[in-house]
Amino acid sequence: MRVLLPVLWPIAAGAALLAYTGICNSKKKASPGTAGHGRITALDLIYIAALALETVLVIAAAAGGGSVRLLSLTDTLTLGLRVDSAGSLFAVLTSVMWLLTGIHSVAYMKHEEWAERFYGFYLIVVGVLVGIDYAADLVTLYVFYEMMTLTSLPLVLHELTKEAVQAGLKYLFYSVGGAFLALFGIFYLANVCGDLSFTAGGRFTAEMAAGAPLLLTAVFCMIVGFGTKAGMFPLHGWLPIAHPVAPAPASAVLSGVITKAGVMALVRIVYFLVGPDVLRGTWVQSAWMVLALMTVFMGSMLAYRENVFKKRLAYSTVSQASYVLFGLSLMNPVGFTGALTHVVFHSAIKTCLFLFAGAVIVVTGWKKVDQLRGLGRVMPLALACYTMASLALIGIPPFSGFVSKWYLATGSLASGTGALGFAGPVVLLISALLTAGYLLPIMIQGYFPGQDFDGKEIGERGLTKKEPSLLMLVPIVVLAAATLLLGCFPGPLVAFVEKIAAAVM
Amino acid sequence: MSFVQNFPFFSIIIAMFSGIVSSVLSGKKARAVSIAAITVTTVLSAFVLAFCLRTGQSYTYMMGHFPAPWGNEIRAGVLEGLTALLFGVVMFLSVVGGLRYTEEDVEPSKQNLFYIMIDLMLSSLLALIYTNDLFTAYVFVEINTIAGCGLIMMSQTGRSLTAAIRYMVMSSLGSGLFLIGLSLLYDVSGQLLMSPAKEAVARIVVDGSYQIPLLVIVAVVSVGLAIKSGLFPFHYWIPDTYGYATPTASAVLSGLVSKGYIFLLIKFFYRVIGTENAAHSHIINALFFFGVAGMMFGSLRAIMQTDTRKMIAYSSVAQIGYIYMGIGLGTQAGMIAAIFHIFSHGATKALLFISSVGLYKVSGDRTDFLALRGSAYRNRLAGAGFLVGALSMVGFPMLAGFISKLLFATSAFASPHKMLITLIALAVSTVLNAIYFLRLMIGLYRPTKSGSFVEPAPAERTGGGEEADRKGRGAKQAEKGAGPGSGSAAAAANPWTMRIAIVCFIILNLILGLFSQPIVSAITDGLAMFG
C-alpha cells in the first residue's frame, strides 16, 4: 500500500479536480480560469497541498521500501511496483521538482486560461511518473510510459492554438512511434526471457545472449525508442517544438523531469534487465555512444542559433539529456555515476531556467532572446538565479554541473572503447563552450545593456524594477541554491549513486 | 445426455423463430422479441460454455437422425460456447446501443423488418458457430448474406442501396465459391459432415490421390470466405457498407458478421482439412500475404479519409488483415491470436461505431472531421467511449487491442520464416493506426467557438489560423450562457440505452485487456477440442 499510494493519490486527486471543474463548468457556465484572477483561491491551496502530500508519500515509500503486485496480464506478464534505490532517486527527484514547479505554476496560471484543467493533468502526470520509477518489471514500465505520453499531452496542448495542436500532434507521433519501437524489443525479450522483472545487473548471461540472435537489435530498438522521450537523435525532432509551446511550468517539468523518464526506462533495460556485461563492447554500445555524442553536439549548436528563449532552452535539453545517455552508454561505474548525478543536476538546472523564462514572460512578456537586454534592471534577483543555473549547466566549479561532467569525462576515458572514448571528453568540452555561448550572453546583456540603452524602445514601462511575485521567485531561488549546494557538497548524492552503480555492475 | 446439450440447438431455433414470429408483429413488439431472443440465446450460450468447461470435452448433437454422409449435426465445445457468448453480448449491446437511431433511421412501417433481419442474422451466426456439417454451414451462409443485405438497405439513403447491391454481389460470389468447394469435397470424399470428411481427407492425403482437387477445394473455400469477410483485395464492399448503414447494422456487420465467416474458415481448416495439411498447402501463405497487405492498405486508406465512418470502415479492413495474418502464420499460437483478435476487434469496433454516432448527433449529423471538432465535449460519454475504442485499436496497454498485439507478436516468434515480416507489419500498422485514430481524437477534444455545435465557417475550413482560435476562446465564454447547454444536447443524443451500451462495451474492453488469461486458455482448450 505504501508503494501504491504515491502512484494512486495524485491520479485520484487530479481526476477528482478535473471532475470537479467539469461539474462547476456545467453549473456556472463560465470558464473558471478567469474566476479568481490574480488571487490565490482555495483550489490553488488544495492543489499545492496535494503536491506536498505527494512528495511526502514518495519519500515515505522510498524510505519504507516494499513491493506490490497489481494483476496478471497473461500468465507470464504481471503488473507490479517495487521500490529500489534507483527508482527512489528518480521518484524523489520527480516529486520535489513537481512541487517546486507546482508552486510556480499557481502564479503563472493566473495569466492563462483553464488553470484547473492544467492542475488536474499536472497532478495526474506526477503519479504516472512515479509509477514509471517504481515499476517492478518492463511491462508495468511500458504501461505507465504510454500513460505518461497521453496524460502529458494536455499540458503541451494547453493553449490550443494551431501551433500548440501541431506541436501536440508531433509530440504524440514521435512518442507513440518511439514507444512502439520499444514495444518490439519488449515482445522479443518477453519471448526470450519470459520473466521481465528488473534485477540489478540484468537477467541475461552470456549463454542466454548467444542463444538470442536478435537480442542486440531488440535492445537497440528499445534504446532508440525510449531515447525518443529523452530527445536522442534521430527521434529528437518533437522536443524543441513541443516543450516551448506548453505553459512555462509545463515546459519546465517536460524538460527537467519527463525527459528523465526516458532515461529511467533505459537505465532499467540496460542495467536491470539485459545487463551491461552483455552489451559492453558490442555494436549497440558504439552506436549508442555515437548517437548520444551527435545529439550532445547538435543540440548545443541548434540552441546557439536559436532566438526564442524557451526554444533555446529546449534545444539545450536535447543536448544535456544526451549527456546522461552518453554516460549510460559507457557501461562502467564511473560513467553511470556521472549519468545519474547529471540527471539530478540537469533536472534542477533546467527546471530553474524554464521557471525563469516563465517569470520573464509573466513580468515583461518578452519571449525572444534579443528582447532580454537590460533584464538585470527589471529583475536582478531572478537574473542572478539564472546566472547561477547557467554556470552550473556549463559546468564551472563549484556549481553542480562540474561534478557530473567530471565523472562523465573520466568515465569516457576509462571505458575502453578506443577512439570513441577519447572523442567523448572533446565533444563534452565543445558542447560546454557552446553552452556558455548560448546562456551567458543573456546574462551579460541583461546586466550590462550598455550606456546608451535606456529601454525606451522596448515599451512604455521600460526598465523599471519589478521582480516576479514570491510564488514564482521562491522556487527559482531554491533551485538556484540547490545547483550551488549540490555542487559544493556532492558527496552524499555521489555515494548514493555509486552504491547503485556497484549493484548493477 | 444432459439437458444443457440441447441448448445450441435451442438457441438457433429460438433466434430463427423469433424472426418468423416478428413478421406479423408491430415494430415495437418485434424489437422486444428480438432483444429477448438475443438475451436468451446469450444466456444459453453461457450455459453451454460452462458445461463444456466443466466436462472438459466437446460433444456432437445429431438432428433429424439421418446417418452420414447426409445428416445435420451440431457440435459444441469450449470455443464454440465462448464465441457464441461473446457474439451474443456484442450483438445485444449493439442492438441496445443503437435503439434510438434505429427508430429514427428506419421507416416506421419497416421497423419490424429490421428486427427480423437481426434475428435471422443472430440465428445464422449461431449456426455458423455451432454447425458440424458443411451443407448446413452453406445454408446459413446464404441466410446470413440475405440478412446482411437487408440490414444495410434499411437506412434507405441512396448510397445504402448501392452499398447493399455491392454487398450482395460480392457476398454471392463468395458463397458461390464456397459452394463449389463443398461440391468438390463431396466429389472426392463423399462426405459433408465434418468429422467423416476429415477422415476421408486424411486418407486422400495418405494415398496421394486427388492432390490437385484438394488444393483447389482449400483455395476455393478460403477465397470464398475471404471475400465474404472482406480480406484485402476483396474489401471494396466494406467502406460503403459500414459507412452508410444504421449504427446497429454497422456495428453488427463489422463486429460480428465478417468474424462469423472467419470462424467458419478456422473450423474448416481444423475440422475438415486438418491443420497439418492446411499449413502445408500454400494457400495459408497467400492468406498471410494478403492479411499483411490488408493491414497496410487499410491503414493507409484510413489515413486518407476525412469522414469518420469511412475511416472506421477502412480500419476494419486493416483489422481483418490482422486476423488473416494470424491464421496465415499456420501455427497454434497464431490461430489463438487470430481468434482473440476476433473477440477484441468485435468488442472494440462495435464500441467505435456506437459511440461515434453519439458524436455525430451533437454535430448536426455530420461525420467529417471538421464538424466533429470538439464534439467530445458536447457528448462526453460518447467521447470517452470513442477514446477507449481508439486506444484499444492502437494497442494501448490494459485494453483488448494490446493483448491481441502481444499474442500476435509472441506467436510470430514461433514461425521463423514469417517472424520478421509479421513484426514489421505489426509495428508499421500500429504506428499508422496511431496516426489516424489519435489525430481524430485530438480533433474531438479540441474546443470550438461555442459549447454547442456550429457550422464550420468557410474561413475555418481553409485552415482558419490562430486568429480564429483566439477569438473562439473569447467567444466561448460569452456564448456559453446563451447557447443551448451542452448538457441537454448530450442528453438528447444519449438515450439511456446507449449510455448502458457504451459503458458495457468499455467494461468488455477492459475485461479483455486485463483478464485475458482465462479467455486465452479457453481458446487454447477449444482449439485442442477441434483436434
Residue B366 lies in a domain: yes
A378 vs B35: which has the higher pLDDT: B35
Task: Identify the sign of the CA torsion B314, B219, B424, B83.
Answer: positive
Q: From A35, which residue of chain B is nearest by alpha-carbon distance?
A: B477
Coil, strand, or helix at residue A78?
strand
Closest CA to A280 of A232, A230, A335, A234: A335
pLDDT, tens digit (0-9, with 9 covering 90-100), for A416-473: 888 888 889 999 999 999 999 999 988 888 888 877 776 665 555 566 777 888 888 9
Closest CA to A344 of A29, A92, A24, A72: A92
Q: How far apart are CA B442 and CA A498, in angstroms?
A: 44
Enclosing domain of residue A465: 280-505
CB B137 within 8 A of CB B192: no
A501 min Cα distance to partner chain B (Å): 31
> B409 CB near a chain A CB, below 8 Å?
yes
Burial class (CB in 10 A: 0-12, 13-18, 19+), A301: middle
Closest CA to A96 of A305, A344, A341: A344
Question: What pLDDT shows up at residue B468?
Answer: 42
B337 min Cα distance to partner chain A (Å): 13
Closest CA to A79 of A127, A138, A125: A138
pLDDT of A30 > 90? The answer is no
Q: How far apart are CA B524 and CA B339, in angstroms?
A: 10
Torsion angle in degrees (nearest 10) through CA of A330, A331, A335, A341 = 120
- Give the residues of chain B that fall short of pLDDT 50: 457-487
Q: Which residues of B touch A180 (CB under 8 A)?
A: 395, 427, 430-431, 434
DSSP code for B67: P
Taking the alpha carbons at both ends of chain B, their separation in whole angstroms is 22
Residue B386 lies in a domain: yes
- Residue B454, sorted as left (phi over 0), alpha (psi -120 to 50) or beta, turns out to be beta
Q: Which residues of B touch A172 (CB under 8 A)?
A: 434, 438, 442
CB A273 within 8 A of CB A291: no
Mutation target to probe the A interface, by most A beta carbons within 10 A, among B436, B448, B470, B473 is B473
pLDDT, tens digit (0-9, with 9 covering 90-100), for A217-250: 889 999 999 999 888 888 888 888 888 888 999 9
Burial class (CB in 10 A: 0-12, 13-18, 19+), A217: middle
The alpha helices in B363-415, defined as continuous H runs, are 369-372, 375-378, 380-394, 400-412
Residue A464 lies in a domain: yes
A269 min Cα distance to partner chain B (Å): 19
Mutation target to probe the A interface, by most A beta carbons within 10 A, among B381, B435, B488, B519 is B435
- Residue A205, sorted as left (phi over 0), alpha (psi -120 to 50) or beta, turns out to be beta
Residue A272 lies in a domain: no
Coil, strand, or helix at residue B63?
strand
pTM score, two decimals? 0.82
Residue A419 lies in a domain: yes
With b for 16 or more beta-carbon neighbours within 10 A and e for fewer, the B417-446 pattern comes to ebbeebbebbbbbbbbbbbbbbbbbbbbbb
pLDDT of A40 > 70? The answer is yes
B222 min Cα distance to partner chain A (Å): 30
Q: How many C-beta atoms surround the C-beta of residue B179 within 10 A?
A: 18
Question: What pLDDT shows up at residue A454?
Answer: 66
Q: What is the H or E stretch that residue A358 is in?
A: helix A333-363
pLDDT of A387 > 90? The answer is yes
DSSP code for A72: E
ipTM: 0.72
Residues in CB range of A16: below 8 A, 6 or more apart:
none
Q: How far apart are CA B61 and CA B127, in angstroms?
A: 13
CB A359 within 8 A of CB A382: yes
Residue B358 lies in a domain: yes
Residue B87 lies in a domain: no
Residue B16 lies in a domain: no
Coil, strand, or helix at residue B74?
strand
Report phi then psi at B63, rounded to 5.
-110, 135
Q: How many CA atoms lie within 13 A of B55 on its CB side?
A: 17
Residues in CB range of B125: below 8 A, 6 or more apart:
B87, B91, B144, B256, B257, B260
> How many domains in chain A?
1
Question: What pLDDT shows up at residue A463?
Answer: 64
% of residues, chain A, pLDDT over 70: 95
CB B252 within 8 A of CB B354: no
The alpha helices in B190-272, defined as continuous H runs, are 194-207, 211-229, 238-244, 247-252, 258-267
Residue type, A90: F
Residue the block writes with cell 511550468:
A249
Question: What pLDDT shows up at residue A185?
Answer: 85
Q: Which residues of B touch A32 (CB under 8 A)?
A: none
CB contact under 8 A, A75 and B517: yes
Question: What pLDDT shows up at residue B64?
Answer: 73
Report phi then psi at B6, rounded to 5.
-75, -15
Question: What pLDDT shows up at residue A19?
Answer: 86
Q: How far apart are CA A82 and CA A77, in angstroms?
A: 15
Question: What pLDDT shows up at residue B452?
Answer: 52
Question: What pLDDT shows up at residue B460?
Answer: 41
pLDDT, tens digit (0-9, with 9 covering 90-100), for A254-297: 998 999 999 999 999 999 998 888 888 889 999 999 999 999 99
Average model confidence (pLDDT) across chain A: 87
Residue type, A389: A
Q: Which residues of A touch B (CB under 8 A)?
A: 26, 29-31, 34, 71-75, 77, 113, 139, 142-143, 146, 150, 157, 160-163, 165, 168-169, 172-173, 176-177, 180-181, 183-184, 187-188, 190-191
Residue A145 lies in a domain: no
- For chain B, how big is the Rg over CA atoms in Å? 23
Residue B32 lies in a domain: no
Question: What pLDDT shows up at residue B464?
Answer: 41
Beta bridge partners of B63: B72
Q: From B413, which residue of chain A is nearest by alpha-carbon distance?
A: A191
pLDDT of A165 > 70? The answer is yes
Enclosing domain of residue B461: 282-531
Closest partner CB to A74 (pick from B431, B463, B520): B520
Q: Which residues of A touch B394 (CB under 8 A)?
A: 176
% of residues, chain A, pLDDT over 90: 42
CB contact under 8 A, A26 and B430: no
CB contact under 8 A, A187 and B409: yes
CB contact under 8 A, B434 and A190: no
With b for 16 or more beta-carbon neighbours within 10 A and e for fewer, the B483-508 pattern comes to beebeebbeebbbebbbebbebbbeb
Q: What is the H or E stretch that residue A98 is in?
A: helix A85-108
Question: What pLDDT shows up at residue B489?
Answer: 56
> How many domains in chain B?
1
Question: What pLDDT shows up at residue B465?
Answer: 42
CB contact under 8 A, B410 and A71: no
Q: Which three cell numbers stand for residue A267?
A: 537505465
Coil, strand, or helix at residue B133?
strand
Residue B495 lies in a domain: yes
Mutation target to probe the A interface, by most A beta carbons within 10 A, among B391, B413, B422, B461 is B413
CB contact under 8 A, A74 and B517: yes
